[in-house]
Amino acid sequence: MSVEQPTLPLNDVAPLTGGCYRGDHLLLAEMIAPNSKVLDVGCGDGDLLQLLETRGIDGRGIELSREGVNHCVAKGLAVVQGDADTDLVNYPDDAFDYVILSQTLQATRQPKAVLENLLRIGRRAIVSFPNFGYWKMRVQLLVGGHMPRTDNLPATWYDTPNIHFCTIKDFVQLCGEINVKMERAVALDLYGRPLRFNAPWWFWNMFGEQGVFLLSRGEKNE
């Protein structure tokens, strides 16, 4: 699959408004149809689930850290402790309308298997991740000669939970390899705002600080 020529399907990107909510969370919530059943994998403290709840969406969560689970339960959210790498296999097919993996893909041990499970248990998946091809990352490697650190990736190389960094281009290639349909893709800037014009993939790979993808299953090859 070529990733140099296509442009991101960025039509009808709505302005992000919502008080104190993160820009990427607002965008994810806007991608989900009302009254949907949603699983948030790696839900952290439950901020996204709370946002979905305000929009009439039935959200459940799975979180690795006990501290995160406790925060979610204290907020009245339906969250259980679990590991995306090992526990998603226990969910039945088509259990949810959407499965979300927000800023978690790079921390999984088997990202390809996790992505396949997302689209097995959900009719659609929404995946967001920090783009390691972002120009500031490249400059830190090229000029500074050290592993990059940004506001979105503040940890040092020896203290980070992230083990599988990828770029927007890498993710697009993976979707092609496992026959995943990209229904919508949005590149976000450093402040979580969508870059609001179409451009070749290389542009998003260079200037998008994050990537957000709405995915569905591709057609099965006969």
**Residue 213 falls within a domain, yes or no?**
yes
116 exposure class (CB count in 10 Å sphere: 0-12, 13-18, 19+)? middle
Closest Cα partner for 129 from 204, 55, 32, 62? 204
Distance CA 26, CA 69 (A): 22
pTM of the model as a whole? 0.85
**Residue 7 falls within a domain, yes or no?**
no
Q: Please state the separation of Cα 220 from the chain's center in Å.
A: 24
Closest Cα partner for 178 from 101, 120, 99? 120
**Residue 15 falls within a domain, yes or no?**
no
What is the count of structural domains for the chain? 1
pLDDT at 13: 40
CATH number at residue 191: 3.40.50.150
**Residue 198 falls within a domain, yes or no?**
yes
Domain limits for position 212: 23-217
What pLDDT, in 10s, does the model give residues 78-131? 999 999 999 999 999 999 999 999 999 988 999 999 999 999 999 999 999 999
**Residue 210 falls within a domain, yes or no?**
yes
pLDDT at 197: 66
**Which amino acid appears at position 101 of this protein?**
L
Cβ–Cβ < 8 Å for 9, 183: yes
Residue found by looking up tokens 């259980």 in the block: 80
**Does position 162 have pLDDT exceeding 80, yes or no?**
no
**Residue 16 falls within a domain, yes or no?**
no
Beta strand 58-63 with 78-81 is parallel
pLDDT at 16: 44
Residue 193: which pLDDT band, with cuts at 50, 70 and 90?
confident
